[in-house]
Amino acid sequence: MIDIFFHDKTGVVSGFPGQIDGFEHADGNGEIHYYRLFDGVGVMLMQLEMGSYTEIRTQVGVLEVNFCINGRFETSFSMRSHVLLKPGDMAISCYDGLHGTKSESHFPLGYYEGLCLEIDPAAAGHWIRLNAPAFSIDFTALKQNLLGSKWYMVGPAGLRCEHVFRELYESASYAERGFLQLKVLELMLLLGRIPQERAADPYCSAEQTALAHHLRDHLLTNREGYVSLAQLAAEHAISVSHLQKLFKQTYGMPVYHYIKEYRLEQAAVELVRSRKPITEIAQHAGYDNASKFSESFKKRYGKTPSRYRADKTNAVKRSIETKTE
């Protein structure tokens, strides 16, 4: 079950945002905190502990910007449209009434923290012209820059955008309305100017995509014994090079790079959600040597595992104290 909480920073009754009433079949628990910042713009903070849910889209023309804070987020719009978000990634879509009406979202770590920014271009543009004319935001150009001829895109947010996304996520519950409005305006300006790759999406058939998912699941669950790509390729009567190409087309990175990143992200979640010793978490992530794990973790997250755990614990305490004041 997903509990939804409305917090209107404008002092006006917010009503229901574009997609907030479109979540179905959730197989766990979670909270969504929705903040309406000004006309046409709302922010959702998502904290979910579940494996999956179904999302139904109904609002045509609304820009939806998702940013992954922690965990991992996978969505399939169809067998040819597979989106994968890891921490620091964003996905941007504009529902056109045809593509992506229904999507299946999965959280393979069983945990997800993220931010979703919803923008109604017409209403937001009108508010900005009246209240913040110094921020000249051309939503048509912004959409063209981000999406081109597509209706969705996914990729790294980049350092500047990621910084603003995280500021919004961490401060939405207590910051002044004016500060949050400035952050959203800053983010929209950045999104309208960041360079985007225009590479064509590689095509995979439904059968090939299902095979890539199966290979991924096999590699992730087989922790006891080593399974080579040659063995997996032989089992499915394909070449190793074809297996590697298929995997990269589906998940956007080489096989073992994906597995390493996935297990480090899983370790980051365990550091926050459990009190397991770091040596045990390191072993679960595939590291026999705790110092090697610490080195890899620091390279990925910029902090040692112990510092990461301490900082996250302190952040939760500060959030609780702020809410109870």
Partner residues linked to 3 by β-bridges: 31
d(CA 226, CA 236): 17
DSSP for 165-184?
A: HHHHHHHTTTS-HHHHHHHH
Between helices 206-221 and 240-251, what is the axis angle to 10°?
A: 100
Kindly state the average pLDDT of the residues 282-306.
Answer: 90
Cα–Cα distances in angstroms (integers) from residue 180 to residues 6, 37, 113, 183, in the given order = 16, 7, 19, 5
d(CA 113, CA 89): 12
CA geometry: angle 173, 180, 21, nearest 5 deg = 65
Q: What is the DSSP letter of 201?
A: P
d(CA 82, CA 55): 14
pLDDT band at 291 (very low <50, low <70, confident <90, very high): very high
Query: By C-alpha distance, which of 186, 169, 62 is closest to 135?
Result: 186
| Domains parsed from the chain with CATH numbers | 2-191 (2.60.120.810), 206-316 (1.10.10.60)
pLDDT band at 322 (very low <50, low <70, confident <90, very high): low
Burial class, 303, CB count within 10 angstroms (exposed 0-12 / middle 13-18 / buried 19+): middle
pTM over 0.85? The answer is no
Task: Give yes or no for residue 15 having a pLDDT over 80.
Answer: no
Partner residues linked to 123 by β-bridges: none
Task: Please give the mean pLDDT across all residues of the chain.
Answer: 81
Kindly state the average pLDDT of the residues 217-246.
Answer: 79
Let me know how long the chain is. 325
pLDDT band at 325 (very low <50, low <70, confident <90, very high): low
Task: Give yes or no for residue 157 having a pLDDT over 60.
Answer: yes
Task: Give yes or no for residue 324 having a pLDDT over 60.
Answer: no
Radius of gyration of the chain (CA): 21
Query: By C-alpha distance, which of 63, 31, 25, 66 is closest to 49?
Result: 31
Give tens-digit pLDDT for 196-207: 554 444 445 667
Task: Give yes or no for residue 248 having a pLDDT over 70.
Answer: yes
Kindly state the average pLDDT of the residues 263-270.
Answer: 88
d(CA 304, CA 73): 24
pLDDT band at 119 (very low <50, low <70, confident <90, very high): very high
Q: What is the pLDDT of residue 115?
A: 94
Give tens-digit pLDDT for 33-87: 999 999 999 999 998 888 887 877 778 888 999 999 988 888 776 555 667 788 8
Kindly state the average pLDDT of the residues 224-240.
Answer: 78
Neighbours of 234 (CB within 10 A): 13
Neighbours of 37 (CB within 10 A): 24
Q: What is the pLDDT of residue 293?
A: 93
Kindly state the average pLDDT of the residues 106-118.
Answer: 86
Give tens-digit pLDDT for 123-150: 999 999 999 999 889 998 888 888 888 8
pLDDT band at 18 (very low <50, low <70, confident <90, very high): very low
Partner residues linked to 82 by β-bridges: 76
| β pairing state of 73-78 and 102-106 | antiparallel
Q: What is the pLDDT of residue 304?
A: 93
